[in-house]
Chain A
Amino acid sequence: MEGFDFDGTLSRIEEIVRKVEDPETGLDEIVPLMKRAEELASACRNYLRQVGDAVSGNGAEE
């Protein structure tokens, strides 16, 4: 997840929400938008729980 842009991804989800909220958006467009937004939300959640280095370690020994 190094380099993951959480804020940018959240903004993209917000953009999709606005598009889905727009009454002009057709149902056929909404389904793929929903799928994409759910994928992005899942990526955000994974980022918050990313499996990286363990909590602890010793900086002086690096």
Chain B
Amino acid sequence: MEEYFDLYTLQSRTRRGMEDLYPDPVWVKAEIASLSVKPNGHCYMEFSQSEGGKLVAKARAVAWNSRYALMDGYFLSVTGSRIAAGMEVLALVRVTYHEVYGLSLTVEDVNAEFTLGQREKARRETLARLEREGLTGLQKRIPLAGIPYNLAVISSETAAGWGDFRKHLAENPGKYTFNAVLFPALMQGDAAPLSIEAALGSVAASPVRFDAVLILRGGGSGLDLSCFDDYRLASAVALFPLPVFSAIGHDRDVHVLDTVAHMSVKTPTALADFFVERKRMAEDEVDDAVRRLRNAASAALDRAGTALRMLELRLAAADPRNVLQKGYSLVLDDSSVRLSSVSSRKAGDTVRLVFPDGVLVCTVDRVEESPYSKTERKDGRL
């Protein structure tokens, strides 16, 4: 009969071997394939590793409640998200082997900076890919309507950002109006990119001709925003035929979505201000034109007034009464025809000398013609 171990002996020897091989905790890089936090606070995970899309390693892991609460809190403060399935992590694990339960990894720590770095690396790779595919500049080439009115808003119905945006838009001091229509979508988590993409599809299919699409969130800055670095979402936005604005409400990072969007602002209220400002500027143009119109009309009236005054002056200058006031008198014959020459008069004729205050009726004694009356002087004067 061949030599054999009973199962317990085999498992005990394996455990001791494991303990000899890994007497201290070791850092291991793996993906969290699944994660479940039990009511008692213990966190059960499954670590995995794939290569070329094929699973090459898998192990159970557990973080006991006392460690898990600390690790998760720190991880959240550094990365902005909680430890979750789908993440690649660098975990400090104690390798344990139990005769009944087999291999298990007890997680002592998770390196948040590693995950952050991995995420940043992935973000840069996505940006580089979008750049290579010529998708990063497409949105910026789409012209925005001069005065946007119909705004398609993609956000969560309960998001603080949507509420802030709506309130800010409705209470603008200029009382400008907008038609902002909500297309609800998930704004965080793994399902968010697909949900936002579906909302974009609804906008495109809507009978309303929208001037712009606004992707809003805001509030809950500690939540996971990595969905806004998703390649598929970014390319869907880049290829969308309407200008897409992003206001993710997070001032710490610039997301891939922000980079491909037509325009990106920090908060939904800042975006509301942008659209209100567009209308205010349009109204300024109208006010300016009306001001110029009134000035031009006023100038035209002034010109007409000046021309009128000039005519009055010329009339006044030509009025014989004004000449009389200066000491001259007007000579009329007895038929009140103005006389400008002595030639038609003879002694005994009656002439009338008109003064400002009356008329002298005179009889001509004699006529004396001027020696200059027949010939013009060389200097042209009479």
Contacts and interface: CB of A to CB of B under 8 A. Distances in A.
Interface of A: 6-7, 10, 13-14, 16-17, 20-21, 23, 25, 27, 30, 34, 37-38, 41, 44-45, 47-60, 62
Contact of B300 (A16, A25, A56, A58): A25
B152 A59 contact: yes
A60 B292 contact: no
Contacts of B182: 56-60
Interface stretch (B13-21, B98-106, B199-207, B374-382): B199-207
9 contacts: A6-B282, A10-B286, A17-B292, A20-B293, A21-B292, A49-B175, A58-B183, A58-B184, A60-B199
B119 interface: no
B317 interface: no
Q: Which 9 A-B pairs have the closest CB atoms?
A: A20-B296, A59-B183, A21-B296, A59-B181, A53-B179, A57-B181, A13-B289, A44-B286, A17-B293
DSSP class of A's interface residues: helix, strand, loop or mixed?
A: helix
Pick from A30, A44, A48, A51 the residue with the most CB of B within 10 Å: A48
Interface residues of B, number: 43
Contacts of A20: 293, 296-297, 300
Contact of B296 (A17, A38, A41): A17
B276 to A, nearest CB: 10
Pick from B175, B178, B183, B290 the residue with the most CB of A within 10 Å: B290
A17 B180 contact: no
Interface of B: 146-147, 149, 152-153, 157, 166, 169-170, 174-184, 199, 202-203, 206-208, 279, 282-283, 285-286, 289-290, 292-294, 296-297, 299-301, 303-304
Contact of A10 (B179, B285, B294): B285
A7 to B, nearest CB: 6
A53 B153 CA distance: 14
A38 B149 contact: no
Given A6-B146, A55-B177, A62-B207, 16 more contacts: A13-B293, A16-B293, A21-B296, A23-B300, A27-B301, A34-B294, A44-B283, A48-B279, A52-B177, A53-B181, A55-B169, A55-B170, A56-B181, A58-B182, A59-B206, A60-B184
A56 B289 CA distance: 33
Contacts of B285: 10
Nearest to B301: A27
Contacts of B304: 27
